[in-house]
Amino acid sequence: MRNITLTGGVAPARAYIEELLPDVLDGTIEPGRVFDRTVSLEEVPDGYRAMAARQALKVLITP
């Protein structure tokens, strides 16, 4: 159960939220991060490559 996260967006989390929320609130389960990587505008291609290689699921682009 350690590899379960609530980072898949609204629909996947909704199916498990009632069951898992108490464990998230008491610290038993780490809910995960929103973004896996942050890149600058110049690094946007690197962000897409990371997602294509499954090294990141969500990349935040900063100006």
| Per-residue pLDDT at 44 | 95
**Whole-number Å distance between alpha carbons of 48 and 58:** 9
- Contact 39/45 with Cβ under 8 angstroms? no
| Per-residue pLDDT at 18 | 81
| Per-residue pLDDT at 63 | 85
**Whole-number Å distance between alpha carbons of 41 and 33:** 21
Domain count, the chain: 1
44: containing domain: 10-62
34 within some domain: yes
Burial bucket for residue 63 (CB in 10 Å: 0-12, 13-18, 19+): exposed
| Per-residue pLDDT at 41 | 95
| Per-residue pLDDT at 50 | 92
| Closest by CA position to 5, among listed 23, 40, 29 | 29
53 within some domain: yes
| Per-residue pLDDT at 58 | 86
Low-confidence residues in the chain, pLDDT < 50: none
